[in-house]
Amino acid sequence: MDADTSRRSLRRRELLKMTPLAAAGLLLNARSREWLVGSGLELGDRASALAFRSTHLAPVFAVRDVTPYERFPLNSYLVDDPEVDLDGWRLSVSGLIQRPGEYTLEALRRLPRVVQNTRHICVEGWDVIGSFGGVRIADFLAHVGADAGARFLEVRCHDDYYESVDIESARHRQSLLCDEMYGGPLSRGHGAPLRLVMPTKLGYKQAKYLASIHVTSVLAARRGYWEDQGYGWYGGI
């Protein structure tokens, strides 16, 4: 082996020795960590979206399998009761729709009703089977004349929580504007007077204490409270 070849071989060996250190430096760099985490979340979102099928239903359970009401956790963003004025409550609806405005609970209840026993899965690791009643989001979107080309729903809540969902998941036949649990009106602790119930999504996507719905094709910078803290946006199960 001549001197030049020897030196090139030495350089390659030294570079190989440096590879683990370079990888460690990449992981230790805050900006690089953020990039890696963000890329992983984006990949997970894409995989969940590709796996979603509008015709695929989440499991539906018999009454005997439903978690007792008193064991259904109250898992709130700030407080269990933001003291919504239930008598004066209106749902403000805007965006890519033909009939924007404010809708009362009575107006929603004139639409076809659905009751279903489905599983609620929390990202914290617990899950329960609940009994939920309300109006399909798809039926409400048809009622207000939502644009067929719209891509997202953005919701704002009375406790300052906010969330957004893809419209395909919102139009899933099990996705509800829920005003009833266990055969009675939705309690304040569980999101009265109206919340989202979407058994194809994780719990943090199922916002409570709804104040407004905005139909759009361009998401706002603030996509969701927990998503803006680093959670995945799609939130599919």
Greater confidence (54 vs 97) lies with 97
Q: Is the pLDDT of residue 165 over 80?
A: yes
Contact call for residues 233 and 223 (beta carbons, < 8 A): yes
CATH 3.90.420.10 matches 59-229: yes
CA-to-CA distance for 193 and 211, rounded, in angstroms? 9
The whole-number pLDDT of residue 160 equals 94
Tokens 């139009």 label which residue? 171
Mean predicted confidence (pLDDT) in 190-195: 97
pLDDT tens per residue across span 19-42: 454 454 555 555 544 544 445 556
pLDDT tens per residue across span 206-237: 999 999 999 999 999 999 999 999 999 999 98
pLDDT tens per residue across span 134-158: 999 999 999 999 999 999 999 999 9
> Is the pTM for the entire model greater than 0.75?
yes
Q: Which residue, among 101, 105, 100, has the nearest Cα to 88 in the 3D structure?
A: 105
Name the band, by pLDDT with cuts 50, 70 and 90, for residue 119: very high
In our burial notation (b when 16+ CB lie closer than 10 A, e otherwise), range 66-105 reads bbeeeebeeebbeeeebebeeeebebebebbbeeeeebeb
- The residues of the chain that CATH labels 3.90.420.10 are 59-229
What are the angstrom distances between the C-alpha of 34 and each of 8, 37, 52, 204, 231? 36, 5, 27, 22, 12
